[in-house]
Amino acid sequence: MFVGIGYDVHKFTEGRKLILGGVEIPHEKGLEAHSDGDVLLHAVMDALLGACGLGDIGIHFPDTDDRYRGASSMELLKTVREKMEVEGYEPVNVDAVIVAQAPKMAPYSEFMKINIAEALALHPARVNVKATTTEGLGFEGRKEGISVQAVASVEEIGHRPPPAGPKDRT
Ligand code: MG
């Protein structure tokens, strides 16, 4: 079993949708980004890639590449899952904390969790999404942006014991 960490920050800007964990959240501002600005999924992807020793999303999806302009981070997350599998890893669990003064995340966190679980082909119980404010402190507290911290664990697919065959049952 291996673990990885992910951290990302995006700043609020006018005229963009706020998308977190693939969920569009009603809010007067969205997050500035080359992609859809899904800061939660960016941190989760970095945690997964980190656990596999595969660098970070900047390497796999460079923001200088026009293919990723406005990219759906849900699609990128599915691609990360595929890349992991090619390298011989599969996710075990994901935990993330969204740090934001506003909006309230609680009504949406269950949907975010289900989206992440589906993209990773994980049982929803293996994914956890929570949120906190900073009591008004720092850039998150001043509502200038949102940060997310995530951790993920993975296991090597090839290192699992093989399933018991008929001979092993005798
Ligand atoms: Mg990002």
C-alpha 76 to ligand 1 mean position (Å): 12
Q: How far is the CA of 88 from the centre of ligand 1 (A)?
A: 25
CA of 161 to the centre of ligand 1 (A): 37
pLDDT at 168: 62
DSSP lists the bridge partners of residue 130 as: 97
Per-residue confidence (pLDDT) for residue 165, from 0 to 100: 72
- Dist CA 6 CA 54 (whole Å): 13
SS3 assignment, position 17:
coil
* Residue 159 CA, ligand 1 centroid: distance in Å: 32
Residue % of the chain over a pLDDT of 90: 85
Note the pLDDT of residue 66.
Answer: 85
Per-residue model confidence (pLDDT) at position 128: 98
Q: How far is the CA of 17 from the centre of ligand 1 (A)?
A: 15
Amino acid at 19: I
| Rg of the chain in Å (alpha carbons) | 17
What pLDDT score does 162 carry? 62
Predicted pLDDT at 14: 96
In angstroms, what is the span from residue 9 Cα to ligand 1's centroid?
6
Distance CA(150)–CA(142), nearest Å, equals 22
Cα–Cα nearest to 6, from 98, 89, 136: 98
End-to-end CA distance of the chain: 31
Q: How far apart are CA 71 and CA 54, in angstroms?
A: 21
User: Is residue 91 classed as helix, strand or coil in its secondary structure?
Assistant: strand
Q: What is the pLDDT of residue 117?
A: 98
Alpha carbon of 86 to ligand 1 centroid (Å): 24
Residues in the chain, pLDDT under 50: none
Q: Does domain 2-156 have CATH number 3.40.50.10470?
A: no
pLDDT at position 53 = 97
Single out the residue of 143, 147, 144 nearest to residue 97, CA to CA.
147
Instruction: Indicate the SS3 state at residue 24.
Output: strand
Rounded to the nearest angstrom, the distance between the alpha carbon of 160 and the centre of ligand 1 is 33
Three-state secondary structure call for residue 26: coil
pTM value > 0.75 = yes
Please state the domain extents for the chain: 2-156
